[in-house]
């Protein structure tokens, strides 16, 4: 029923747009005489001659006419883009058709339970990639996986699209132009951001209670980790991959803290993800080096890094401190962070205590 209603509304909107386009074209034709413009187009080479021989005082008028024509065309285009009547905005949080454009929102929407899942009409394509998503294969295969295609997104008639601060500006403008409500997730630096995003998404889909339950469960898991590491020494750790290191204000900083480790890059005053050469990493001589891996190849990844020139000399390589975690958990800004912290904590507890 809803789809039929939307289709009818879409058709009416299409007719309305066509009418507006016709009116705009007529307005443009009125400002710029059709005969003159078509005559110019056909004139070809004689155009320059005519312009050159035209009296000087007439040239500004011709320019004004051209300018008016261009303005009319621009107005017509804008009008046609804005012609769709505004969609009725939700007075409450009654978003029935939600499209998710980030892996984090895909994961949160899934975790909020079946009622929320039923409202989802599209998820991001990376949701099935085990390197980036902690729930590959969870969403039904029939559900569209969309990214970068605003038209396909609009065709699904969503009333809420969850985007991120890194979503292409064109997509955001396109959605706003079509009066589609958006929820933008804007920071991904740790557990506080995760819970802020969880609350925002839960509120948008009328699932506040489920959201709070989710957060409470995550807080309890982190509290258990804190109890394990309250009194222990905190080994110096780095997260390193593709020549980049995760410093302060990154999800790894939160993961390392929860797992009883000190993030060496943050301790050295670095912020965000910054490049670091192997030479510098070797000179830092960390006790723990955390890398991402794709199960079941995690042990092999640890062995490969431990034998790499330079790295092999570090304390991490010599004392079994090279730890490979599933990439989806290590790179996660969602519940995967807690999974990563638990895995890292277990490995940290198995490390030999320094004298």
Partner 1 sequence: MSRLPLVLALAAALAALALALLVGPGELGPGDVAAILGHHLGLVDAAPPPIADAIIWELRLPRALLAAVIGAALGGAGAITQGLFRNPLAEPGVLGISSGAALFAVIGFALGLDAATPWAAALLAAGGATSVLLLLLAFVGARIDVATLLLSGVAVAALASAVTTLILALASARWDLGLRVIHWLMGSFEGRSWGHLAIAAPIVSLGLGLSLWIRRDLDVLFLGPESARSLGVDLRRLHLQAIAAIGLLVGVATALTGIIGFIGLIVPHLARRLGGPGHRRLIPLSAAIGGGVLLLVDTGARAFTSFVLPPGVITSLLGAPFFLWILWRQRVRVDGL
**Which of 82, 195, 282, 304 contacts partner 1 by CB under 8 A?**
282
Q: Name the residue nearer to partner 1 (CB basis): 55 or 309.
A: 309
User: Smallest distance, Å, CB 274 to partner 1?
Assistant: 7
Of the chain, the end-to-end C-alpha distance in Å amounts to: 71
Neighbours of 269 (CB within 10 A): 8
What is the token pair recorded at 290? 């955390």
What is the token pair recorded at 179? 């009066």
Distance CA 196, CA 306 (A): 38
Distance CA 121, CA 128 (A): 16
Distance CA 351, CA 328 (A): 23
User: Smallest distance, Å, CB 277 to partner 1?
Assistant: 6
Instruction: Please tell me what DSSP assigns to residue 287.
Output: S
Q: Which of 157, 148, 91 is nearest to 124 (CA)?
A: 148
Give me the 96-125 binding string for partner 1, x by CB under 8 A, dash otherwise.
-----------------------------x
**Which of 243, 295, 297, 307 contacts partner 1 by CB under 8 A?**
243
Distance CA 255, CA 74 (A): 51
Q: Name the residue nearer to partner 1 (CB basis): 76 or 247.
A: 247
Q: Name the residue nearer to partner 1 (CB basis): 204 or 266.
A: 266
Q: Name the residue nearer to partner 1 (CB basis): 208 or 304.
A: 304
Looking only at residues 63 through 92 of this chain, which bind partner 1 when binding is defined by CB under 8 A?
none
User: Smallest distance, Å, CB 237 to partner 1?
Assistant: 17
**Which of 62, 278, 346, 349 contacts partner 1 by CB under 8 A?**
278
| Helix or strand (DSSP H, E) at 120 | strand 120-122
Q: Which of 340, 349, 277, 334 is nearest to 311 (CA)?
A: 277
Q: Name the residue nearer to partner 1 (CB basis): 57 or 242.
A: 242
Q: Name the residue nearer to partner 1 (CB basis): 209 or 313.
A: 313
User: Smallest distance, Å, CB 291 to partner 1?
Assistant: 13
With binding defined as CB under 8 A, does residue 280 bind partner 1?
yes
Strand partners, 240: 245
129-143: burial string, b at 16+ Cβ within 10 Å, e else? eeebbbbeeebeeee
User: Smallest distance, Å, CB 280 to partner 1?
Assistant: 5
Q: Name the residue nearer to partner 1 (CB basis): 25 or 282.
A: 282
Q: Name the residue nearer to partner 1 (CB basis): 110 or 284.
A: 284
- Check if the beta carbon of residue 77 is closer than 8 Å to that of residue 140: no
Looking only at residues 294 through 323 of this chain, which bind partner 1 when binding is defined by CB under 8 A?
309-310, 312-314
**Which of 231, 242, 353, 355 contacts partner 1 by CB under 8 A?**
242
Distance CA 187, CA 163 (A): 12
Angle at 106 between CA 103 and CA 111, to 5 degrees: 125
Q: Name the residue nearer to partner 1 (CB basis): 242 or 353.
A: 242
Contacts of 48 (CB under 8 A, 6+ apart): none
Give the number of C-alpha atoms closer than 13 A to the C-alpha of residue 79, restricted to the C-beta side: 18
User: Smallest distance, Å, CB 263 to partner 1?
Assistant: 19
Distance CA 290, CA 344 (A): 9
**Which of 131, 172, 199, 248 contacts partner 1 by CB under 8 A?**
131
With binding defined as CB under 8 A, does residue 283 bind partner 1?
yes
Looking only at residues 171 through 210 of this chain, which bind partner 1 when binding is defined by CB under 8 A?
none
**Which of 285, 300, 303, 307 contacts partner 1 by CB under 8 A?**
285
Q: Name the residue nearer to partner 1 (CB basis): 147 or 200.
A: 147
With binding defined as CB under 8 A, does residue 44 bind partner 1?
no
Torsion of CA 322, 326, 330, 335, to 10 degrees: -140
Q: Which residues bind partner 1 (CB under 8 A)?
A: 125, 129, 131-132, 242-243, 274-280, 282-283, 285, 309-310, 312-314
């Amino acid at each position: 029923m809803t789809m039929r209603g939307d289709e009818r509304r879409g058709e009416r909107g299409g007719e309305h747009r066509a009418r507006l386009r016709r009116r705009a074209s007529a307005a443009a034709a009125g400002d710029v005489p059709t005969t003159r413009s078509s005559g110019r187009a056909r004139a070809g080479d004689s155009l320059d001659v005519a312009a050159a021989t035209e009296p000087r005082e007439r040239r500004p008028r011709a320019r004004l006419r051209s300018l008016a024509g261009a303005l009319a065309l621009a107005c017509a285009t804008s009008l046609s883009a804005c012609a769709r009547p505004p969609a009725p905005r939700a007075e409450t949080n009654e978003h029935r058709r939600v499209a998710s454009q980030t892996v984090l929102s895909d994961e949160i929407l899934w975790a909020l339970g079946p009622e929320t899942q039923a409202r989802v009409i599209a998820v991001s394509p990376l949701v099935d990639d085990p390197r980036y998503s902690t729930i590959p294969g969870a969403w039904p295969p029939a559900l569209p996986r969309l990214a970068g295609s605003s038209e396909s997104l609009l065709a699904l008639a969503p009333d809420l699209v969850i985007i991120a601060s890194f979503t292409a500006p064109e997509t955001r403008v396109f959605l706003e132009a079509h009066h589609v409500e958006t929820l933008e997730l804007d920071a991904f630096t740790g557990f506080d951001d995760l819970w802020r995003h969880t609350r925002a998404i839960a509120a948008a889909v009328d699932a506040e209670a489920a959201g709070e339950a989710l957060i409470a469960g995550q807080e309890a898991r982190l509290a258990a980790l804190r109890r394990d590491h309250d009194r222990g020494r905190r080994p110096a750790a780095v997260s390193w991959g593709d020549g980049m290191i995760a410093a302060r204000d990154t999800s790894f900083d939160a993961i390392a803290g929860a797992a009883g480790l000190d993030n060496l890059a943050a301790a050295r005053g670095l912020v965000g993800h910054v490049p670091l050469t192997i030479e510098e990493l070797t000179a830092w001589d960390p006790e723990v080096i955390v890398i991402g891996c794709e199960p079941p190849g995690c042990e092999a990844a640890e062995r490969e890094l431990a034998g790499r020139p330079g790295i092999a000399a570090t304390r991490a390589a010599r004392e079994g401190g090279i730890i490979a975690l599933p990439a989806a958990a290590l790179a996660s800004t969602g519940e995967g962070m807690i999974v990563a912290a638990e895995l890292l904590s277990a490995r940290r507890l198995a490390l030999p205590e320094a004298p």
